[in-house]
Amino acid sequence: MSGPDETKGEGDGFVASRRAVLALGAIAASTVVTVRPALAQTAGSIMACQIPVPGPQAAGSYIGQDGRPVAPGTPGAAPPLARPLTGEEAKVLLRGSTPPGVDPAAAQAYANYIRRLQAGMSGFTCYASLQMPR
């Protein structure tokens, strides 16, 4: 016999019971509540990540206009930044603008340095996360 929550459908099987529908609704709602804060946290952490220019592997080097670390005193080279760039500042640089506190004459060299980052280099994970679509 069928209880009040299960009814015989016109086809071969049973129509979903009220309990099953309510349970699925509860699962879906909890998934949305769980995923939304995680996505918000991810977006926040991307903007707060840091990219040192240059990284520790090239500490003390200047940055050439092509983005490669060069020896101090190289003509046209930009001095190293005093502090790492945040993800937000890197995004501004990569769009062709100059974030506050960055020398406009050196901005293109810093942007080229960021574009040349590879796996294993300090700041690469931050740069890669900036490239992911949201």
Q: What is the DSSP string of the chain?
A: ---TT-EE-SSSSEEPPHHHHHHHHHHHHHHHHHHHHHHHHHHHHHHH-EE-SS-GGGTT-EE-TTS-EE-TT-TTPBPPPSSPEEHHHHHHHHTT---TTS-TTTHHHHHHHHHT--TTSTTHHHHHHHHS--
Tokens of 126: 């931050």
For the record, the structure tokens of 50 come out as: 């840091």
Cα 106–chain centre separation = 24
CB hemisphere CA count around 99 (13 angstroms): 15
* pTM of the shown model: 0.65
Q: What is the pLDDT along the chain (134 residues), one digit of tens a residue?
A: 555 555 555 555 556 677 777 777 666 655 554 444 444 445 556 678 999 999 888 888 999 999 999 999 999 999 999 999 999 999 999 999 999 989 999 999 999 999 999 998 889 988 888 887 65
Chain-centroid distance, C-alpha 12 = 49
